[in-house]
Structure 1
């Protein structure tokens, strides 16, 4: 027993102390390596001047208006019109008298695309180059084309292809992102400037910043992207100048709105509801983190389930077409039996036969 007592009070084995010291170095190195990027990210966050604002509470609602019919796999039956010949065909305007679609592309060209039963028979003609980036397209009363070009302003293109600047400013302020355009039956042109601060290539900053940037010049139906709603603006009659609800709780973020002449508006949805965007709209610090990533390494892809929603004249949804693989859908219009969708980045117009692949 005396020997056991002596052993218990004897000094520790030196070899054990050395061994313990050796195993601590990898742990220390791992800790430092883990902390350095965290500290760097915190410093970067604090120093970056980007200052997103809180969104209004109504942005946070998860309510989605019921839609009686839907097709959630529209890409499975879709066709590509003008594949490889159209660079980001953002808007789609149809001239029934000639059977031609007009669309503006990222390379500056306004293209004319023939509408045929077979996609392979469709012909793409490079018609006029604006020297900018044509977005919104509308057909005027005298077969002229009215173009919203964020780099040039509001343009008039004659039937012969002559480009004329109508305006690029309002009350002394230059437009930044001339975006959507329409022509009323009396020839009055209504258009919007999407942002007075950011240009088209910087559109993501407009959304991330969360501050009101839309310069509403005139339109009949006004999409509100972050709030997932559309408003109706009366341009004539007893209610002239009044703004009222058209539809709330859209199943995605709206872009252009098109009327098909058959009692329905088609609202393009750039993206459906996603968890990343839900968190971003709720928390400004999340939007700032996304902005920092966008600035230095590029933001993650956060969009899916883009498509188009059909609503009647009262704003009641009738059909929803979308797909998990679709995003940045910017326009949609029904022509005959087909739905045609424009896109900011795709190299073609998406076409879906609504009789063969209906919403159910």
Structure 2
């Protein structure tokens, strides 16, 4: 019987060592995807940086390169042992003025109130009274010679509040330029009022942008209550801030926050009308300054010099980056070690009270054995008994 031939089958040739192995072609897309993922944020950030309207100026950094001054004595943890006066009854009590006749502190608050605080040995016995609501943002104040209170209101300008609580506008412009941020005030024995406009471009809610831009928009001024004339004493100041008339009435000291210095303008004598440095290279950003009546100035430092703050002051592009971050992401916290720096009448440092947890301390005065510190943001006044918690020698 015949049989069918076997069915042919297909077979693969055996591979030999010399035969090339098949390779698969990889698509180049993953590489470009990674590249775009990395570069896109950089490109977007560069575009935002270039298109952002903020124009930063170069600060005169040759004046900011020397080491910060150090006081002979310091208390670098002043919150230890401090008491909180008027807790949650005082909203942002920036400035403090003490009436020794009545034992009452006047303070300017963020909710528009000028409040009176009756102080006692015990903080628990403190009495807080809402005296006058000026309707704006009273930043600074000084007690007048006729029972009135002179107020620098950030929005309204220079105000006078009578003993009966009547509010009167004294001035809101100089040389045809409106005040944008009335920020400090003191009164000479003859009645002339000295004050500053921190910035004629930015208001109190925009003060951070004045810092970021780094241009001198501040002015120091005087107001004569008899002639009602407002004069500009000094232009082109870097955030003009606190003001204090010297005890001998020869000059006025005012602070330039961004430049970490205080300058003095002579109002009497041979140097009348001239301007010179009182103290520079401060270990922080000065806010208000007050004379204690015993040969010392108390300079509030809203922040100590942090690494971030120091770099930002010296490098405009970093300030622009901070501005972009603030605008599109959120606020940046670069402040700490706030407190009070005390100097004598020659501007020589004597004591420094501060704390790493303190920020935006805006004023400091001495009443009895206590230092009282106001703040831009805190809901209280900080009080420290310096006999129990003194500054101690640094060497």
Asked if TM exceeds 0.5, the reply is yes
Tell me if the contact between 1:225 and 1:255 (Cα under 8 Å) persists in the aligned partners.
yes
Q: Which residue of 1 aligns with 2:351?
A: 319
The RMSD of aligned alpha carbons is 1.8
Larger relative strand fraction:
2
1:55 alignment counterpart: 59
Question: 2 CA distance for matches of 1:96 and 1:149?
Answer: 24
Matches of 1:162 and 1:225 in 2, distance apart? 32
Secondary structure of 1:34 counterpart: helix
- Report SS of the residue matched to 1:190: strand
Asked whether the 8 Å contact 1:59–1:281 carries over to 2, the reply is: no
Give 1:64 deviation, angstroms. 1.5
2:48 to 44, 47, 50: 44
Q: Secondary structure at the match of 1:40?
A: helix
User: Which of 196, 206, 209 is residue 210 of structure 2 equivalent to?
Assistant: 206
Taking the aligned partners of 1:257 and 1:246, their CA distance within structure 2 comes to 12
1:332 alignment partner, one of 336, 358, 364: 364
2:375 aligned partner: 343
Partner residue, 2:91:
87
What secondary structure sits across from 1:346 in the alignment? coil
Q: SS in structure 1 opposite 2:384?
A: strand
TM-score in terms of structure 2 length: 0.85
| Cα separation, 1, equivalents of 2:203 and 2:76 | 32
Post-superposition Cα deviations, 1:50-106, rounded to whole Å, max 9, x if no partner, equal: 110111133431412231100111112211111111111111111101111111111
Does residue 279 (structure 1) correspond to residue 311 (structure 2)? The answer is yes
Contact 1:155 1:164 (C-alpha < 8 Å) held by counterparts: yes
Flag structure 1 segments of 5+ consecutive residues without an equivalent: none
Matching residue of 1:236: 268
Greater Cα radius of gyration, structure 1 or 2: 2
The offset of 1:33, in angstroms, is 2.8
Q: Deviations over 1:25-71 (max 9, x none)?
A: 76654443332222111111111111101111334314122311001
* 1:10 aligned onto 2:19: yes
Asked if 1:167 is matched to 2:199, the reply is no
Q: Determine the C-alpha separation between the residues in 1 that align with 2:21 and 2:64.
A: 63
Q: Which moved more, 1:281-290 or 1:230-239?
A: 230-239
User: Are the aligned partners of 1:208 and 1:287 in contact in 2 as well (CA < 8 Å)?
Assistant: yes
Where 1:52 maps in the other structure, the secondary structure is: coil
Q: Return 5+ residue gaps in structure 2 as ranges.
A: 1-14, 223-242, 244-251
In the superposition, the TM-score normalised over structure 1's length comes to: 0.93
Distance in 2 of aligned mates of 1:43 and 1:147: 44
CA distance 1:96–1:36, shift in 2 (3 Å)? same
Separation in 1, partners of 2:161, 2:357: 35
- Once residues 123 and 20 of structure 2 are traced to their aligned partners in structure 1, the CA distance between those partners, rounded to angstroms, is 88
Q: Which has the higher helix share?
A: 1
Determine helix, strand or coil for the equivalent of 1:253. strand
Task: Please tell me whether residue 129 in structure 1 is matched to residue 138 in structure 2.
Answer: no
Alpha-carbon distance between aligned partners in 2 of 1:149 and 1:92, rounded to the nearest angstrom: 14
